[in-house]
């Protein structure tokens, strides 16, 4: 699975700007992303991609600790790069290395402490990351085995390690690879993106001890430079409002099915229509209150690690699976089940 953080439609817009350095950086990112995706798809076509066997969750993650390995691509496009920090080693002078190391740890902590999951595969998989990939690379991605971070062009995007939600998002694609493994196209692909946004938000909230009401629900906060009129790449609280800028345009995400985007681009709108299930999760978290990684997050985690989803499940099937997960864990007359149904109804997926 190859999944990048910045959607192709935004990079294409940047590639057409008169600002040559920004346009050239976006063009290089688009070219690299397309090449990496073709190579990864060729491998997947030969060997297939199927969910791994999920080990049983522990009681609360006691005794689970990450194993992290950070490498530096030194602005080349070769992976993994030069090893610069491993588990237990002290901070280095490079902030990107330290941010990547910490972000991997905070993501591990959420899954271990909230759900008893031992790393991405549930069996202690090493967490690998590479920083300083390429020249002014305007993206971050999960390539099936590691996180890869660019430094940004410095005018629109800052370094991608600065945002903890970027790390949480891309590593959750790794979790999905071992669990529901939804195909990266159309509604299943939008759900794949949305689940990564959901747990990215939960990683930040868990790290800072924020309740659902206190959290910003922004994905990619801190990525834009101060030259951009925007707070993040996406907003789960209010899809379509994360940025509104004369240069990069307006956030195009819909919040409900009334704004659903039918397109062949972006793998069938995976980064666009993910705003709908994103908003459903936000509504559920607020309805339940308290810490979103507890009841709301538990329902989503039970859903992606359960047996009710197929690889091609769409929004309605996912909504039904979350309702079944809520009923199974909390009961058929529970507040949690009622809130799940209400949230999906509010965004127009359920009637």
Known active-site residue 65: no
Contacts of 41 (CB under 8 A, 6+ apart): 2
The domain locations on the chain are 3-177, 186-346
Closest CA to 275 of 304, 291, 294, 253: 253
Which fold, 3-177?
Answer: Elastase; domain 1 (3.10.170)
Known active-site residue 351: no
pLDDT of residue 60: 57
pLDDT per residue as tens digits for the range 161-197 = 999 999 999 999 999 999 999 999 999 999 999 999 9
pLDDT of residue 1: 53
Mean pLDDT of the 11-33 span: 88
262 CB burial (10 A radius; 0-12, 13-18, 19+)? exposed
Write out the CATH class of domain 186-346: mainly alpha
**Angstrom distance (rounded) from CA 103 to CA 201:** 13
Catalytic residue among 170, 193, 320, 336: 170
Query: Rounded mean pLDDT of the chain?
Result: 92
Catalytic residue among 169, 173, 271, 279: 271
pLDDT per residue as tens digits for the range 108-158 = 999 999 999 999 999 999 999 999 999 999 999 998 899 999 999 999 999
């Amino acid at each position: 699975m190859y999944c990048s953080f910045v959607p192709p439609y935004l990079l294409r817009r940047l590639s057409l700007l008169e600002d040559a350095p920004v346009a050239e950086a976006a063009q290089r990112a688009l070219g690299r992303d397309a090449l990496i995706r073709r190579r990864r798809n060729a491998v997947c076509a030969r060997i297939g991609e199927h969910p791994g066997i999920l080990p049983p969750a522990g009681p609360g993650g006691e005794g689970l600790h990450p194993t992290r390995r950070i490498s530096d691509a030194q602005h080349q496009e070769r992976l993994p790069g030069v090893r610069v920090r491993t588990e237990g080693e002290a901070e280095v002078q490079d902030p990107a290395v330290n941010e990547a190391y910490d972000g991997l740890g905070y993501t591990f902590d959420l899954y271990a402490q909230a759900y008893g999951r031992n790393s991405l595969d549930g069996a202690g998989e090493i967490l690998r990351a590479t920083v300083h990939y390429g020249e002014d690379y305007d993206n971050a991605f999960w390539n099936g085995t590691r996180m890869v971070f660019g430094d940004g062009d410095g005018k629109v995007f800052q370094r991608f390690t600065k945002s903890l939600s970027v790390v949480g998002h891309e590593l959750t694609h790794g979790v999905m690879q071992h669990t529901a493994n939804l195909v990266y196209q159309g509604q299943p692909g939008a759900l794949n993106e949305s689940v990564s946004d959901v747990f990215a938000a939960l990683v930040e909230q868990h790290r800072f001890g924020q309740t659902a009401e206190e959290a910003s629900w922004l994905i990619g906060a801190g990525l834009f430079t101060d030259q951009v009129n925007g707070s993040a790449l996406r907003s789960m609280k209010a899809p379509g409002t994360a940025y509104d800028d004369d240069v990069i345009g307006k956030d195009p995400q819909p919040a409900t099915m009334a704004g659903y985007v039918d397109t062949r681009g972006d793998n069938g709108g995976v980064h666009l229509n993910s705003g709908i299930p994103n908003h459903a999760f936000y509504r559920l978290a607020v309805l339940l209150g308290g810490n979103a990684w507890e009841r709301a997050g538990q329902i989503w985690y039970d859903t992606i690690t359960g047996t009710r989803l197929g690889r091609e499940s769409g929004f309605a099937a996912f909504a039904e699976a979350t309702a079944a997960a809520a009923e199974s864990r909390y009961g058929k007359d529970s507040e949690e089940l009622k809130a799940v149904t209400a949230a999906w109804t509010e965004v127009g997926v359920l009637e």
